[in-house]
Amino acid sequence: MTVDGFNQDQFIASMGRVQNSKYVPVAILAYLVVDYFQTLEAEVTYMWRGRLSLLKALFFVTRYLPFIEIPLSVLYNEARGLSPQACHAVFGSTSIMCGLGTCIAEAIMFLRVYAISRQKRSVRIYLSLHFIIIQSVAMSLFIIFVNSLSFFPDFPVCIPMHAEINQMKAVFGIILLNQVVITSMSFYFVLTTFRNSRGPLTQTLYEDGILYFVIITAITVVNLVFTFTMPVEYMFLLSGLQRVVHATLATRIVLGMRQAAEEDLDLTGIISDVRFEFIKSREEPPKPYGPYSYPYDISFTRTTD
């Protein structure tokens, strides 16, 4: 017995792998929901107040876009009897949203590096060019990959039959290179800007930077290995996980920096509105606040009972 080029044993094995792969998007969705409620109080405290800024806009898009993408991935894995065209449409739309969401999460990390560099003009120019070039190349390769996908006809589930997989390998490679460059710059500016500081903000910058680099790098390497070694049903098994972890870590870093800055200033309980504005690079040193010196100005209003 054959099913469009599959003999019976191959068909049964393929269906087994498809069944196993269904659990991953559900687990990712569960992780996303748990992370959301764990950080909701911090989001309300540090992001809902004050005026809307570029960082806040990126934060909210990064925070909530996965709640559209991941349910669509679950539906895609649960769908039955879709035509190859419908499979391509659903997979393509979720993949493009995933790519755009990752790009936005990366923008947050670029803004973080720019901020801790004391908004140096040279850094802004480099980061802008780096971001535009890297993301343009990565998204172009990703779109070529998505457009090259074709699915088995008359198959009970959506299984890719052909794709330009080399483009996807290149995308993961670019992501990995990007992480190395941005993390190296981040550590450099933390060491040079905060070398005399020992407060919670400094610790947060170190710990979050290391955690972000290790986790994203590990997932990227695993995804790269999967594209080389795994059957087609498992080839993109952890792509959704990388997307969601990218988003949750980026948003946690923003919340962690704001919380740590407030704790360093010992203003907990008396601040009703905090606005962080990083000062531009200049010759004189940053203003000291207590025993620490940070490269930003902070304005706030006190609450009165």
- Closest of 23, 19, 43 to residue 31, by C-alpha: 23
Backbone angle region of 281, left / alpha / beta, with phi > 0 → left and psi within -120 to 50 → alpha: beta
Can you tell me which residue has the tokens 């949203």? 97
Residue 140's identity, in one-letter code, is S
* Tokens matching residue 172: 């993961």
- Which pair of structure tokens corresponds to residue 68? 């559209």
Residue 277 parent element (H or E): strand 271-278
CATH-assigned architecture of domain 2-270: Up-down Bundle (1.20)
pLDDT digit string (tens) for the chain, length 305 residues? 334 445 667 667 777 777 778 888 889 999 999 999 999 999 999 898 878 888 889 999 999 999 998 888 888 877 777 888 888 888 888 888 888 888 898 888 888 888 788 788 899 999 999 999 999 999 998 888 888 888 877 777 777 777 777 888 888 888 888 888 888 888 888 777 766 666 666 667 676 777 777 888 888 888 888 878 887 777 778 888 888 998 999 899 888 888 876 765 543 332 233 333 333 333 334 444 333 333 333 333 333 33
Tokens representing residue 53 in the block = 């800024």
CB atoms closer than 10 angstroms to residue 155: 21
The confidence score (pLDDT) of residue 201 equals 66
Domain boundaries, the chain: 2-270
Pairing mode, strands 271-278 and 288-289: unpaired
Cβ pair 248, 240 in contact under 8 A = no
The model carries a pTM of: 0.73
